[in-house]
Structure formats: structure tokens, C-alpha cells
Structure 1
Amino acid sequence: MIPPIVLLTDFGLADPYVGQMKGALLRLAPAAPVVDLCHEVRQHCILQAGFLLETSRPHFPDDSIFLAVVDPGVGSERSILLARQGRQLFLAPDNGLLSFLHGQKASWWRADADASNASRTFHGRDVFAPLAARLALGADPSSLGRSIDPAEVVRLEQTWAESGDGCLDCAVLHVDRFGNCLLNLRIEAMPARGRTWMLDDGRTVSRVTTYADLAPGQVGLLAGSQGVMELAVNGGSCAGLLGFLPGRTFRLTCTERRP
């Protein structure tokens, strides 16, 4: 059975870019299922793309091929990475997008791709898609490039928020279409103490369990479905209310006194 190819890009859906990349995949590997993970990554936001890939891959079959193209260096000398962790394969630019695989038992290759006839501005269609199609048709990763040491791979430091002295220094990793702000704060790292927190601007944030626990316009902090804490407003956009975008950093301060 041909494995699925899972697409993650910052292309959006207003242009033909996603469709053309899918067309290339269907032409080269017509029996391969093609799944859209997300095409609304903020333009060039590599950390956001890496987070979405990391939190999504456990929900896919073991033999999935993840094709992630958030590539501000397209057409430059940046190389193309191929990685395998377990039975899942990952194809992406060498720009830090696959940083979450560091520290895991993964194999790495630097892909040898002929870009001589490719558009210098659209490697997703002309270079990445043909590589993914070859993998879907059964090509061994070692046949597509040379094995490399993980130390050779570009790595972006993903700093996870940690609590200390009643404060949490956080960053927004992703804003979903509902305006919920997904944070770099893993659920298991959230302090048990503290039902009320304060943002930098003095706004009160209440720790809740569900969106319905919030009054209209009230900002809440709750455990989301993606393994991290999120800021949310019931029936509204928290990101719009606070003016937050992916990459925004801020501090949460616990307003409750220690016992």
C-alpha cells in the first residue's frame, strides 16, 4: 500500500501553489494519498511550522511521508533534508524546521536533488514534490542523498516556557482560526498553583478547564488539544483582542500569594 504524503506549507489557499504541488504529486505518484495538514503557516515562520509538524505527526500512520515547505531561502544554497524517525519520513529545507527531531533516534540525509530545470522560486513543486513522490513509490532514503550527522543540520532553539518565582515567560507558537493563542508552555509544565494570572498590560487571565467557563470578553488560560496551554476568549478572538501573532513573547504573573 502506498503511504500518504502529508503537506505543510505557508502557501495559503488564495494562489495556485498548493494545487500545483498536488498536481506534481498526482502526476508522479497518482496512487499516493495526499493529505493537507496546514497551508496557513504564517509566512516564513519556521518555528510555527515545526511546532505544527511535531504536534500533528503522532496522529498519522507510521509510514507517513511529511512534506514541509516553509522555505524563505528557496533558490539559495540551502540544502534539502530527509529524516526518518521510526517509520515516518520528513522532507524539508535545512532551515531548522525539523529541529524537534534533534535528541530523538532519527536518521538524516542531505538530498541530492537536480534543480537545474526547477523554478528558482518554487522548489515545493519542482524539487520537493518529485522527491516525496519517489519516496511514496518505495525509494530508499539512502538512494536520494548522502547520510549526514545530526550535528550538520541547522537547528533552531525552541525554548519551552518554565515557571519560576510566580512568573511564566511565554511565546505564541500558533494562532488558530478561532483566535486561540497556543503557547510554548507544555501542559505538564504548567504549575498546579495559580488560578489567576496577569498579562504584561495588567489584564487578568483566569485559568479554566473549558471555553464555556469564560464570561464574554474574559481571557482564559487552559490546556488545549495540541499538548500545550493556550490563551482563549469564549466566542471571540483572543489574538485579536490582545494583538498577538505567532512569535509574540509576554509574561504571565501569578496574582495569588503563596500559602
Structure 2
Amino acid sequence: MTTTPWISLTTDYGLTDGFVAVCHGVIGRIAPAARVVDVTHLVPPGDVRRGAAVLAQAVPHLPYGVHVAVVDPGVGTARRAVALVTPGGLLVGPDNGVLPEAARALGGITSAVELTAPGWLAAEVSDTFHGRDVFAPVAARLALGGRPADAGPQVDPATLVTLPTPVSRREADGFTAEVLTVDHFGNVQLAAGADLLTSLPGAVEVAGHPAVKGRTFGDVPAGELLVLVDSAGLVAVARNGGRAVDLLGVAPGTLVTVRGRVRG
């Protein structure tokens, strides 16, 4: 295996404590030449679905490397710590569903291991900070060219925890889809492919609110709703100069119906 100098970090650690810096420090001590990309540390605490979506949408645009995700409400329990090998990079994190979507985005899992080898982990592993004691040191050693097979026993990829498939269904006059994520700007990303939007007219209704099908935020006047295909290729609801999520009153997991409307 060739040396992998890039490591990315996606966590729910926030920015008010020292957790992120500690993970950087552990990586720096073991693999000082590795370059670390912070995808985000502002995943809502324990929100595995949001962490999985952010990771999966980011990794195709990052250099080949080791991608660490720590959104881990089950830390210290019987849940496994794993590393996944894909054609597009390595993934390290808890076996709680946060990694498989990113693995698919990188070409699919070719092998997986449970992270148990003592020489790969911290000398003492805390029950509550596996980011520091398990995932960061493993990522650093992989970045140095370590073989995943040496980090622990093989895992059957079919046994990995996966998240439920989000709702997305076509309706007679439109479609209904689950809110997948809400970004920093208040844009509401739906678990709906672009094909579901194609057949709708220019005037649409989103959860009972009038909106316009468009291409970019400027296609509607300030304050109005727009339905478009976002940079991840999914349907999203935006509000020009405002936050669509506040107007719609939705959250991740909410079902939203988008249908054509007749202009009155």
C-alpha cells in the first residue's frame, strides 16, 4: 500500500472544547507529514444521519486518503470500531452507520477490519474518547502506509450497521421525500434525486407553501422559496436571502411533499 498523506476529520465535537485539537495532535505525533482536512466538527451531537450525509457528499471531492468520522453516541459500548477499504480511500470510525454511505461514494467496500490490535491504538483507551485513542492513531498509522489487515480481524461487510433508506417516493402530482440534511444557510436537502423534479411544472408547492422550480437562488425574488437540484445532485428547497427551514418548519427526518400547482 502506498503512503496516504491526507486525513480528513468529520465529527460532532464542536469548536468550544479541545477535542479536535487533541485529535490533530495525536495524528501529528504519529504521522507529522500527514495533511489534515477538517470537513466539519459541527455535526449536531449524536446525529449519525447528518454525519453520514456530510461525509458521503464530501469524500468524492477530497484527495485519496484516510477519512475519519466520529459521530459516536455509542462510544464505549459493544459497537465496533472499524476501518473500511474502498477503491477511493479508507474510512475509519464507529460501526453505527456513519461510514457506509461514504464507502459507496468511494466505489464500495472491498474489505473491512475491526480495530483491535493493541499496537495501533493508544496504550490506554478511554471509554469516552475513541476519537483520540482509537480512530486518530489508526488513521495516522494508515496514512504512514500501514496495512488495514494488521489493525485487527476481518469483518464481513454485510454485517456492518447501515442506516435505514430515507423515504423518497413518486406521487401522482409530485413526490414525497424525507429531509436528509439542513445546511448552514437553512437550505433543506431532500432525499430525492433530480429525476423527481424534472416532470414538475415551473410553479410548485412545498409542504403547502408556494415555490418556483429553478436553477439558482436568484431565480426568485428575495424571500421567496425555490426548489432546485443542489451541488450533490439532490432536490433542495432554498429561500432567496433567507432560511427555507424556518419557513417550512421542518427538521431532518420530516417528510415533505413537493407537487405542481396551478398559478392562480
TM above 0.5: yes
Contact 2:176 2:256 (C-alpha < 8 Å) held by counterparts: yes
Q: How does 1:88-107 map to 2 (within 5 A)?
A: 88-100=89-101, 101=103, 104-107=108-111
One-letter amino acid of the counterpart of residue 209, structure 1? R
2:155 matches 1:154:
no
Contact 2:115 2:134 (C-alpha < 8 Å) held by counterparts: no
CA RMSD, 1 decimal: 2.1
Deviates more, 1:173-182 or 1:88-97: 173-182
> Within 2, Cα distance between the matches of 1:189 and 1:111?
41
Q: SS of the counterpart of 2:153? A: strand
Deviates more, 1:84-93 or 1:234-243: 234-243
Q: How does 1:16-35 map to 2 (within 5 A)?
A: 16-35=18-37
Structure 2: which 5+ residue stretches go unaligned? none
2:134 matches 1:127:
yes
Q: SS of the counterpart of 1:147? A: coil
One-letter amino acid of the counterpart of residue 42, structure 2? E
Q: Which residue of 2 aligns with 1:222?
A: 228
Deviates more, 1:137-146 or 1:114-123: 114-123
Q: SS of the counterpart of 1:126? A: helix
Q: How does 1:75-90 map to 2 (within 5 A)?
A: 75-90=76-91
> Within 1, Cα distance between the matches of 2:79 and 2:204?
43
CA positional deviation for 1:74: 0.6
Q: Which residue of 1 aligns with 2:194?
A: 187
Q: Which residue of 1 aligns with 2:9?
A: 7
CA positional deviation for 1:191: 3.1
CA positional deviation for 1:192: 2.6
> Within 1, Cα distance between the matches of 2:162 and 2:238?
30
Q: Which residue of 2 aligns with 1:255?
A: 261
Contact 2:69 2:99 (C-alpha < 8 Å) held by counterparts: no
Q: After superposition, what is the alpha-carbon deviation per residue over 1:75-128, rounded to whole angstroms, capped at 9, x for unaligned?
A: 111101111110400011000112323693532222215477222111111111
> Within 2, Cα distance between the matches of 1:105 and 1:135?
16
CA positional deviation for 1:242: 2.2
2:171 matches 1:171:
no
> Within 1, Cα distance between the matches of 2:110 and 2:173?
37
Q: How does 1:39-58 map to 2 (within 5 A)?
A: 39-58=41-60
Contact 2:4 2:142 (C-alpha < 8 Å) held by counterparts: no
One-letter amino acid of the counterpart of residue 35, structure 1? V
CA positional deviation for 1:251: 1.8
Q: SS of the counterpart of 1:190? A: helix
Q: Which residue of 2 aligns with 1:235?
A: 241
One-letter amino acid of the counterpart of residue 64, structure 1? G
One-letter amino acid of the counterpart of residue 54, structure 1? A
Contact 2:4 2:66 (C-alpha < 8 Å) held by counterparts: no
Deviates more, 1:42-51 or 1:97-106: 97-106
> Within 2, Cα distance between the matches of 1:256 and 1:204?
10
TM-score, structure 1 normalization? 0.91
Alpha carbons of 1:188 and 1:110: their partners in 2 closer, same or farther (altered >3 Å)? farther
CA positional deviation for 1:160: 5.3
TM-score, structure 2 normalization? 0.89
